[in-house]
A and B are shown apart, each in its own frame.
Chain A
């Protein structure tokens, strides 16, 4: 390989991969954050009816 201007070649490919990995990481981070939010919402929605069911069961037993 001709060695002239190799620094420019290195700089160009480093920038390309830095941007690409940066964007992929940004998407990954966003996905993780959204998953956590989704899990929290699922928990809060899922817990509500369970609590109601538990309350009804307790009331039934008491009655």
Chain B
């Protein structure tokens, strides 16, 4: 990392840390407890940002996959992989925290509700994406196959987002857009989303850097063998 890159990285880490501290303060101290569901409602402030960042991550995969297929520049493939990796981590957390919340609110760990099922399908799709990358050894074939999967897999993102409107689901509706949140709750949610967005950028940047480093090392080794 050059001097300017390192400075940018430290500024991002500092900003991410400050935002995460503010988010935790707001979630556990500032925001009032929900009268209907009690303390467990506080899962919402991390559950929703994790889901949004999961969508963002898969959107980045989608865009980078299109760019790779049109330009055939490997840098887009590397960014797409890094973003898919982070997206899978965040979506795993969405499923786990959602399941815990469901147990507390509905008395069950899981139900085959449209939104939950579509989210699980999304998770499986991008796990498959990472498996393709792991098992296909030829570089251009791997990049091409995963780009196609990255584009096709994104079809499920709008289905997950719109599931609560398209079908009758047990999962709560889009209360954020309908103005169903108190101002303090909305402010807390916005700070949490900002914190996770910065965190996502840091993780994708670092992961991309490592993947580039991996490629450099492999190229040097290959050139030495040649």
Contacts and interface: CB of A to CB of B under 8 A. Distances in A.
Interface of A: 1-6, 8-9, 11-13, 15-16, 19-20, 23-24, 27, 30-31, 34, 37-38, 41, 44-45
Nearest to A40: B217
A1 B213 contact: no
B93 A15 contact: yes
A40 to B, nearest CB: 9
Interface string B73-113: 00000000000001001001100110011011000000000
B43 interface: yes
B139 interface: no
A19 B43 contact: no
B169 interface: no
B82 to A, nearest CB: 10
A12 B101 contact: yes
B40 A9 contact: yes
Contacts of B28: 1
The 3 closest A-B pairs by CB, nearest first: A5-B40, A8-B104, A2-B38
Interface of B: 28, 33, 37-40, 42-43, 46-47, 50, 86, 89, 92-93, 96-97, 100-101, 103-104, 199, 203, 206-207, 210, 213-214, 216-217, 220-221, 224
A15 B217 contact: no
B210 A6 contact: no
B213 A34 contact: yes
B121 to A, nearest CB: 21
A28 to B, nearest CB: 9
Given A8-B104, A12-B46, A34-B214, A41 B220 contact: yes
A9 B43 CA distance: 6
A38 B203 CA distance: 21
Contacts of B103: 8
27 contacts: A1-B33, A1-B39, A2-B38, A3-B39, A5-B40, A5-B104, A6-B39, A8-B100, A9-B40, A12-B46, A12-B47, A15-B93, A15-B96, A16-B50, A16-B93, A16-B97, A19-B89, A20-B199, A23-B86, A23-B203, A24-B203, A27-B203, A27-B207, A30-B210, A41-B217, A41-B224, A44-B224
A23 to B, nearest CB: 5
Given A2-B33, A5-B38, A16-B93, 13 more contacts: A1-B33, A3-B39, A5-B39, A8-B104, A12-B100, A15-B96, A15-B100, A19-B89, A27-B203, A27-B207, A27-B210, A41-B221, A44-B224
